[in-house]
């Protein structure tokens, strides 16, 4: 019963967040034209592209409001007040730095850095290898303390990459060092691998997992990506150092 009560308290805020998300969709959809003229033809409102996101956003808002209402009805205003007090206490900070939440942070940071930082700017092979190496070692070791150390090391490396591209050093160094951003990413991968090895070198079970992680992280991109690149003729999102080397061998450009 206690567990159900906790879930209902959480539903109050979950429903509110869902409601805000639906409102966000509605506000964006409201900026779309409801009717307009294209090529002299007047379109009516019921064929507007805004209708579907407006409907989806409205339903999400309704579901969020109902979830919050149901949770308040079952948990009561007193429980809601207790939760507000908890949010204002130091217990919230303890929760935010707990092991389970750190794992969530790691997943979010990994995917955000992959999508918004490495893939648009670094050779896709290196981006994939970096992501897989970090993701697999963090969670395959199944050790929260190791995960924290690896995550903080990754954060430091990502910070260096962000500063490197934000300051325009890629364009400056690119005049003297070809694929300078890819070289930096390669150094980051090697530094991460060395750091991870130093953490687990005296633990034989983890050493085996480490070797398996590296094999999978390196082999997967070099098996899948060349199929798309050279057989299906699908270009990589960003082609840099590794693609250039593979092109030399594939097209015999010596």
Domain boundaries, the chain: 2-96, 99-251
What pTM was computed for the model?
0.73
pLDDT in tens, 88-118: 777 767 767 777 788 889 999 999 999 999 9
What is the dihedral sign for C-alpha 196, 201, 205, 209? positive
DSSP label at 38?
A: E
Span 15-33, pLDDT tens digits: 888 999 989 988 888 887 6
Mean pLDDT of 65-83: 76
Q: Which two tokens stand for residue 214?
A: 């590296």
Tokens encoding 192: 């991460």
Q: How many CA atoms lie within 13 A of 230 on its CB side?
A: 14
129-148: per-residue pLDDT in tens? Answer: 999 999 999 999 988 899 99
Q: Which of 232, 220, 67, 27 lies closest to 129, judged by CA? A: 220
Residues in the chain: 254
Sign of CA dihedral 17, 19, 24, 25: positive
- Nearest alpha carbon to residue 217 among 140, 112, 136, 97: 136
List, in sequence order, every residue forming a beta bridge with 37; answer none if it has no partner: 42
């Amino acid at each position: 019963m206690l567990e159900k009560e906790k879930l209902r308290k959480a539903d109050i805020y979950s429903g509110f967040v869902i409601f805000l998300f639906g409102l966000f969709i509605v506000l964006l959809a409201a900026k779309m034209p409801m009717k307009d003229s294209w090529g002299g033809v007047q379109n009516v409102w019921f064929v507007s592209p805004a209708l579907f996101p407006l409907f989806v956003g409205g339903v999400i808002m309704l579901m969020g409001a109902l979830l919050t209402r149901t949770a308040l009805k079952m948990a009561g205003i007193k429980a809601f007040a207790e939760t507000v007090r908890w949010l204002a206490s130091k217990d919230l900070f303890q929760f935010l730095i707990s092991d389970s939440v750190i794992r969530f942070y790691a997943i979010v940071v990994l995917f955000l850095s992959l999508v918004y930082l490495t893939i648009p700017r670094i050779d896709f092979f290196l981006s994939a290898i970096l992501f897989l190496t970090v993701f697999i070692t963090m969670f395959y070791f199944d050790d929260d303390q190791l995960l924290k150390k690896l995550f903080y090391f990754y954060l430091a490396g990502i910070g260096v990459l962000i500063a490197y591209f934000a300051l325009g050093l890629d364009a400056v160094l690119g005049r003297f060092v070809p694929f300078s951003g890819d070289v930096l990413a390669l150094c980051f991968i090697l530094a991460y691998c060395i750091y991870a090895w130093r953490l687990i070198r005296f633990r034989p079970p983890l050493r085996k997992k480490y070797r398996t992680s590296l094999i999978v992280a390196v082999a997967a991109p070099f098996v899948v990506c060349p199929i798309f690149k050279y057989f299906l003729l699908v270009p990589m999102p960003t082609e840099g150092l590794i693609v250039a080397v593979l092109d030399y061998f594939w097209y015999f450009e010596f």
